[in-house]
Structure 1
Amino acid sequence: MSSKFNLKIVIKNLFKSSTISNMITVGFASLLVSFFGFFKEILIADSFGLSELLDTFYVAMLLPGFVSGVFLRSFNSVFIPNYVSELKTGKNIGAFQSTSILITVGVALLFLIFAILFTDVYLEVFFENHTQSYYDLVKLQFYFVAPCIIFWGFSSLISGLLTIDNEFRLSSISSIFIALSIIVCLVFFKEQLGNLVLALGTLIGSILSFVFLAITAFKRGILFMNMPDFKSANIIILFRQLPAKVSSSLLSGINPIIDQYFSAQLIVGSIAALNYGIKIPAFAISIVGLSVGNVLLPYFSKKAVDNKELLFKEIKKILKYLIVVGLVIMVILVVVSQPIIWLIFERNAFTGDDTVIVSKIQQMYLLQIPSYIVGLIMVKFLTAINKNNFMVLASVMNLLLNITFNFILIDLMGVYGLALATSIVSIVNSLILYLYINKLNKQYV
């Protein structure tokens, strides 16, 4: 009776914690988004299998995705801790927001123009020895997905404001619009849209996601427009941290392009196989890692202003729990890898042979789950305390390791080696970040 009572107390205290409840909220929201994402992937697999159209779509998405990951998400990461500091100290949040919006729009437009002008060069250098029809198909889809960069930029900034305002549910669910849009386009307009069905679905979903977030932020009254102030103390700190964060993200963002480059040297369908193989690992990471990470970045940022010594103790406890959770998830998914691929993807254009290939790739990717999750949290932690410079060094090491392992393992294992190389790099990266955090911790003991 006593043990039951204690268990109830523990559960009750957990749900009383706003941080835990926010994690659960984001977890359920991520689960819902991932459900529609998987349904979208099932439809794509059913329609295209490991085809040239799907290969070219993923190639077309590389640059916009790269820009989003390198700058837009990097800016969002350094925006949150410094905006929190502005809220607690300067209170000139209108100027801070206006300045941040100008930076986001300017850089998004710059990258958009650059990407459009150098598409041909990029394709010839990284994806040589393909047919002209292959390149034409990439460029056709690219011109429709490239404008997504602008909408992703606005969405990222507004999403950051919402999480700081403790609105995790709607900000987390906003990405569902891309999956829903692609689903609608595939089900109802596939014949009419032809080769553009995936690209147009992505663009429409990106616009809807931005509109949804903007309306949510407006209703909560968290959008303020004042004259930009580039001399604000917290804006200056943001600018100082941004080059390191962007450099780190740039180096990390190159890794998927390198993997795509190596896979493009193999048979047609290898790029699509890698993308199918990463779906389940990405799902697990998004549910555990992102739901925790999205909540912990503003949480760490607020705690860092108050008590850094206590914050270091908390991060170590969090990492221990996440490693255990990650290992359990990894083992379960590795064991049931092939049945999962068979159940989700195998039908029509996606054959039994495709299932065998993708399930083996998936097993290689699954090995990174524990290290990727804890690595993600450690990056959030270091960003919150404005220690982005070290992550540049770590990213350089990761890039060199990824290239080295790709060269070695692609000869030994083919496309499976590329997935295994990614997991090995993730494990090494998490060890490097932990050793650095442990070194920083000694400064506060």
Structure 2
Amino acid sequence: MSLVKKFATVASGTLASRIFGFTREMLMAAALGTGPVADAFNAAFRFPNTFRRLFAEGAFNSAFVPLFAKEIEKNGLDGARRFSEEVFGVLFTVLLCLTIVMELSMPFLVRYVIAPGFIDDPQKFRNTITLAAIMFPYLACMSLGAMMSGMLNSLHRYFAAAIAPVFLNFILIGVLGWAWYNGHDAMSVGYGLSWGVMAAGFVQLAIVSTAVRKAGIKIGFRRPRFTPNVKRLLILALPAAVTGGITQINLLINTNIASSREGAVSSLVYADRIYQLPLGVVGIAVATVLLPELARALRSGNLKEAANLQNRSVEFTLFLTLPAAAALLVMSEPIVRLLYERGEFSPDATRVVAGILAIYGLGLPAFVLIKAFIPGFFAREDTRTPMIFAAISVIVNVTLALTLFPRYGAAGIAVAEIVAGWINVVLLFSTLAWRGHWGKDIPLLTRIPRLVLAAAVMAGGLYYAMQWQGHLLATGVPFLVQAATVGLLVAAGGIVYFALAFGLGGANAGMIRRSLKRKAAVGVKKQGSDSA
């Protein structure tokens, strides 16, 4: 399977999850707006969700995958199964203890970590504690699920792990539909969503565990022991968790800061949901596929293939991400109005969320590039260097957020996030190049400025088109009219961008065709050895 086809497999599942996520957020915005229950739920959900991405997806997709791939190459599926059972026993025990401790400590955590600004509103403070306690077991399910997803990715079975998150949105949409049908109030909706999150964790875990068994690996429970393999995993996982979850660390810190202003937490969450669509579809797909492929190429000694994988991944991500960033920058207000402005979500909320989303658009290429650069370190089992850069990024984010939030509100926090992201990109890339792990690629260097120019021209065209057709995008215009207008603008912008990208030489048919047909050299080598 070609690299791009693997990207597409993961991206299709992620895209489905994001689309249903939009549906969920649209219903939530209509039911809760940016009011106190929305703030309480979003703050409470961000806590287990941050831990999930920090210690589950970030750590295991970065540390577990290379070690699991090494076991497959050295000892086959039996060796990989033994390693998985060793890790599972330790992970399950740690998660059980962590869940108990966190549940007992939830009042303290909400007061000092999650949302200290809620203390002035006793009802919101109590609601956040209760909702976070209901949802926290979601972390344990998703952490175990992330381990199994890493196994599936190493075995080139990407779809089950990519599609499983869709079921969180299915369940929450069902909860919101039931609440609307029965006329539930905001507080009942918040509690229903929290129980839905916990149920979704068990459903997603069941999906990936079933897929692992079908892939030929049946994991049994072993008494937790710190074997050499487990110790190696833990040494790699701690810095990998910090590095891979840098965005989540910043989001948790920013939630803490934003909790002191009414509606700021929910505004950031609503903007983040839209911005996560291109980030998830492109960035997460590339990072998920690139890490095991790059690790395999390096272990086989194929440095040329490793360099080619890195360069083509950056080229592919920028080719798709730059127009998305330009569209978010220019079209943020009509996009937010179309998706959210109804029910409890007011025009004022639209303007606030749109301003945040436009700022996120400027940072989108940075966060996608981070996901393309980090595998260059993790595949070489270097998780310390990216962790240091992540720590620098966090310091920059916190300093700027504390400085800008009092004056600019949630928009100041968004600025802090993207500045920190771009600093992380510069540090990662310059270090890879300095170490000789990122070879000069003339086609890539010549294509990037042409893609930037194509995206800039597209953005200018969209801006003037919106001035011309602005009356069709205003508050009060029927939903279908707004949807059709936004859809036509996006389609026209896409045509302009891709025409310019190909016309200016930022992309060409040969590049796309080679990407679609090219198979990883290590994969070819494996097939040859299998046939022998």
| TM-score normalised per structure 1 | 0.90
8 Å Cα contact 1:95-1:228 kept in structure 2: no
Deviations for 1:250-277, whole angstroms, at most 9, x for unmatched residues?
76543212211221122x1111011111
Distance 1:123 1:29, change over 3 A: closer
TM-fit CA distance, 1:281: 1.1
**Alpha-carbon distance in 1 for matches of 2:377, 2:97:** 28
Deviations for 1:175-198, whole angstroms, at most 9, x for unmatched residues?
011000001111124657544111
**Which is worse superposed, 216-225 or 97-106?**
216-225
Counterpart code for 1:57: F
**Alpha-carbon distance in 1 for matches of 2:219, 2:260:** 50
TM-fit CA distance, 1:69: 2.1
TM-fit CA distance, 1:232: 6.1
Aligned partner of 2:107 in structure 1 is 120
8 Å Cα contact 2:34-2:267 kept in structure 1: yes
Percent identical residues = 19
8 Å Cα contact 1:93-1:224 kept in structure 2: no
8 Å Cα contact 2:297-2:303 kept in structure 1: no
Alignment map for 1:163-182 (pairs within 5 Å)? 163-182=153-172
Q: Secondary structure at the match of 2:75?
A: coil
Aligned partner of 2:268 in structure 1 is 274
**Alpha-carbon distance in 2 for matches of 1:34, 1:72:** 20
TM-fit CA distance, 1:228: 6.9
94, 99, 106: which one aligns with 2:86: 99
Counterpart code for 1:89: K
Distance 1:242 1:31, change over 3 A: closer
**1:303 maps to 2:297:** yes
Q: Secondary structure at the match of 2:120?
A: coil
Q: Secondary structure at the match of 1:348?
A: coil
Aligned partner of 2:282 in structure 1 is 288
8 Å Cα contact 1:374-1:430 kept in structure 2: yes
8 Å Cα contact 1:293-1:377 kept in structure 2: yes
Alignment map for 1:180-195 (pairs within 5 Å)? 180-189=170-179, 191=182, 193-195=188-190
**Alpha-carbon distance in 1 for matches of 2:242, 2:276:** 23
**1:27 maps to 2:11:** yes
**Alpha-carbon distance in 1 for matches of 2:219, 2:395:** 43
8 Å Cα contact 1:99-1:230 kept in structure 2: yes
**1:323 maps to 2:307:** no
TM-fit CA distance, 1:325: 3.0
Counterpart code for 1:366: G
Alignment map for 1:43-442 (pairs within 5 Å)? 43-73=27-57, 74-91=59-76, 92-126=79-113, 127-128=116-117, 129-189=119-179, 191=182, 193-225=188-220, 234-248=229-243, 253-266=248-261, 268-307=262-301, 309-310=303-304, 311-441=306-436
Distance 1:424 1:94, change over 3 A: same
8 Å Cα contact 1:94-1:226 kept in structure 2: no
**Alpha-carbon distance in 2 for matches of 1:308, 1:244:** 26
**Alpha-carbon distance in 1 for matches of 2:437, 2:36:** 53
Alignment map for 1:2-21 (pairs within 5 Å)? 17-21=1-5
Q: Secondary structure at the match of 2:34?
A: coil
8 Å Cα contact 1:55-1:272 kept in structure 2: yes
Aligned partner of 2:468 in structure 1 is none
Distance 1:29 1:123, change over 3 A: closer
| TM-score normalised per structure 2 | 0.76
8 Å Cα contact 1:338-1:359 kept in structure 2: yes
**Alpha-carbon distance in 2 for matches of 1:72, 1:284:** 22
Distance 1:413 1:164, change over 3 A: same
**Alpha-carbon distance in 2 for matches of 1:281, 1:248:** 20
Could you tell me which runs of 5 or more consecutive residues in structure 1 were left unpaired when the two chains were aligned. Answer: 1-16
TM-fit CA distance, 1:115: 1.5
Deviations for 1:55-83, whole angstroms, at most 9, x for unmatched residues?
11122123312321222221342111000
Q: Which has the larger radius of gyration?
A: 2
Distance 1:28 1:139, change over 3 A: same
Deviations for 1:371-402, whole angstroms, at most 9, x for unmatched residues?
11011111123212211010121011011101
**Alpha-carbon distance in 2 for matches of 1:26, 1:252:** 20
Counterpart code for 1:298: P
8 Å Cα contact 1:308-1:444 kept in structure 2: no
Counterpart code for 2:73: K
Superposed CA RMSD:
2.3
